């Protein structure tokens, strides 16, 4: 493919899975002579890795493409070529239409075709074609992608499951990422061991519906997420495990028990409930009630009393009344969240909810979002404040903004910073939490390096 060294700029939108995909794309292209750059103006190849989950996603991509077009012209004036690729869920959803609407785009590539990137780029470069690759190929893209590099971040991600069979009526994921697919255990273990050798101390398993994981085990049987986590916990260098995102329906007893039994499994769980009214939950096709959710949380807290819970909530789903919204606030109060992500409903083309009657006026949705967020902020502040005065183990991941500062995460996924030497990066260290700000905790690094 590329004969001379080439520069690659990837701009990532959306979720952690997109961030993981961007890393894997960069690794695949590194083998073909592409080195990453943060400056799109010096890039021979620009990839926009897009997200389609909410709000005029496609429009945002088209306006980003306007900026990229200006860069391409500028480079052209200096005799330089720029190839423009669009990846991710907008690419998957738009397909051929994207080539028609945006003349600047050379390549449209869906999430299931990333392993084909080098050859697709070759087709554009050598054949002068404009290419769309949005099929769901039968082959396993993870097998076809190169192995992970030999150096890794202290906290690394592995996609273990992709796609979703739940079909919540507001959501595009089942259409853009396809049906549920779980990677085999052996491939995940090999990737985790490689990341561990490269310096990773924490691994977060990613999946749109990660707790529905059912991958083929080395014994030929399908393994659950709990069983996979137990296996990964035997890797000595891996000291922390996390997983995200989970569906309440797939939180089985084995996984709940593991939160009490496996010290490497961190006391943090992202468990979206979306709405507190059973009527709305039914219209959303969530397959659980508000009470199911609250009872599930009680069982999880029985296994691991200090667990920090996080969630996703949508306000203004079609037909949501004031009383329905009050049910959402009530569930938030009943559970008490350490963190939460809340959104105004946005109609996604092609999803069943988009054609429901009684769409909620924007002004009301905005007000509801505002009052929900005040409550969630209060709860998050209370959670953080309760950790002030405690000694927490922090995995330091990077240098902080100020000189002499390092930054990392507590077991509860709180951002923590403190004064300390750079060589603590990659280590788990005892930290006295002395104050809580809006975005992070401040700590005094206690001990030296833990054994
Ligand atoms: N409108 C608003 N929020 C949405 N989400 C998914 N689809 C929509 C939509 N159409 C939210 C859900 C999901 C999170 C990733 O994004 O809360 O859990
Ligand atoms: Fe979308 Fe999550 Fe529902 Fe699947 S479970 S359809 S990914 S919101």
Q: Is 348 in the pocket of ligand 1 (CB under 6 A)?
A: yes
pLDDT band at 234 (very low <50, low <70, confident <90, very high): very high
DSSP state, residue 265: B
For the chain, domains (ranges, CATH) are: 6-133 (3.40.50.12160), 154-385 (3.80.30.20), 391-449 (2.40.50.140)
- Cβ neighbours of residue 174 closer than 8 Å, sequence gap 6 or more: 163, 164, 165, 166, 167
Higher pLDDT, 269 or 450: 269
Quick one: pLDDT at residue 276?
A: 98
Q: Do the Cβ atoms of 157 and 206 come closer than 8 Å?
A: yes
Q: Which atom of ligand 2 is nearest to the CA of 171?
A: 1
Which among 53, 55, 211, 274 is the best mutation to test ligand 1's pocket, defined by most ligand atoms within 8 Å of the CB? 53
**Which residues sit with their C-beta closer than 6 Å to ligand 2?**
164, 166-168, 171, 173-174, 208-209, 247
Quick one: pLDDT at residue 451?
A: 41
How far apart, in whole angstroms, are the C-alpha atoms of residue 46 and residue 48? 7
Over residues 305-317, the mean pLDDT reads 98
pLDDT band at 2 (very low <50, low <70, confident <90, very high): very low
The gap between the terminal CA atoms of the chain, to the nearest Å, is 47
- 152 has a pLDDT exceeding 90: no
Q: Which atom of ligand 2 is nearest to the CA of 165?
A: 4
Q: Do the Cβ atoms of 345 and 318 come closer than 8 Å?
A: yes
Which among 52, 170, 275, 293 is the best mutation to test ligand 1's pocket, defined by most ligand atoms within 8 Å of the CB? 170
pLDDT band at 281 (very low <50, low <70, confident <90, very high): very high
- 101 has a pLDDT exceeding 60: yes
Percentage with pLDDT > 70 across the chain: 98
- 1 has a pLDDT exceeding 60: no
- Cβ neighbours of residue 232 closer than 8 Å, sequence gap 6 or more: 188, 189, 192, 203, 205, 238, 241
How far apart, in whole angstroms, are the C-alpha atoms of residue 253 and residue 266? 17
Please give the angle made by the CA atoms of 20, 172 and 46, to the nearest 5 degrees.
40
Pairing of strands 428-436, 391-399: antiparallel
pTM: 0.92
């Amino acid at each position: 493919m590329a004969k001379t060294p080439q520069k690659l700029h990837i701009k990532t939108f959306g979720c952690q899975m997109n961030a993981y995909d961007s890393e894997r794309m960069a690794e695949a292209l590194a083998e073909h002579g592409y080195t990453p750059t943060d400056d799109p103006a010096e890039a021979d190849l620009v990839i926009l890795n897009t997200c389609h989950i909410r709000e005029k996603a496609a429009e945002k991509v088209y306006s980003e493409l306007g900026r990229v077009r200006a860069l391409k012209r500028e480079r052209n004036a200096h005799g330089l070529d720029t190839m423009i690729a669009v990846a991710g869920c907008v690419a998957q959803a738009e397909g051929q239409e994207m080539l028609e609407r945006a003349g600047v785009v050379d390549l449209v590539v869906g999430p299931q075709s990333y392993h084909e990137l080098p050859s697709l780029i070759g087709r554009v470069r050598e054949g002068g074609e404009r290419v769309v690759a949005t099929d769901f190929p039968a082959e396993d893209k993870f097998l076809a992608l190169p192995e992970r590099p030999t150096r890794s971040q202290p906290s690394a991600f592995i996609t273990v499951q992709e796609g979703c069979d739940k079909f919540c009526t507001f959501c595009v994921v089942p259409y853009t990422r396809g049906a549920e697919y779980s990677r085999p255990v052996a491939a995940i273990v090999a990737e985790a061991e490689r990341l561990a050798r490269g310096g990773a101390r924490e691994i977060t398993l990613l999946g749109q519906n990660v707790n529905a994981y059912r991958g083929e085990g080395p014994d030929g049987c399908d393994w659950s997420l709990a069983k996979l986590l137990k296996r990964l916990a035997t890797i000595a260098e891996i000291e922390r495990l996390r997983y995200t995102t989970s569906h309440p329906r797939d939180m089985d007893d084995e996984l709940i028990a593991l939160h009490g039994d496996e010290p490497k499994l961190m006391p943090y769980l992202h468990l979206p409930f979306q709405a507190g009214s059973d009527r709305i939950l039914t219209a959303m096709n969530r397959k659980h009630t508000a009470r199911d959710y609250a009872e599930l949380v009680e069982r999880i807290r029985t296994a691991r009393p200090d667990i920090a819970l996080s969630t996703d909530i949508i306000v203004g789903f079609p037909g949501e009344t004031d009383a329905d919204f009050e049910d959402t606030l009530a569930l938030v109060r009943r559970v008490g969240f350490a963190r939460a992500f809340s959104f105004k409903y946005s109609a996604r083309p092609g999803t069943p909810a988009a054609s429901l009657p009684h769409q909620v006026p924007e002004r009301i949705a905005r007000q509801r979002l505002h009052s929900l967020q005040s409550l969630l902020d209060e709860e998050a502040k209370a959670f953080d404040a309760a950790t002030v005065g405690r000694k927490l183990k922090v995995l330091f991941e990077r240098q902080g903004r100020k000189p002499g500062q390092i930054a990392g995460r507590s077991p509860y996924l709180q951002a923590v910073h403190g004064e300390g030497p750079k060589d603590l990066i990659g280590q788990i260290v005892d930290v006295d939490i002395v104050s809580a700000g809006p975005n992070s905790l401040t700590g005094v690094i206690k001990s030296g390096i833990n054994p």
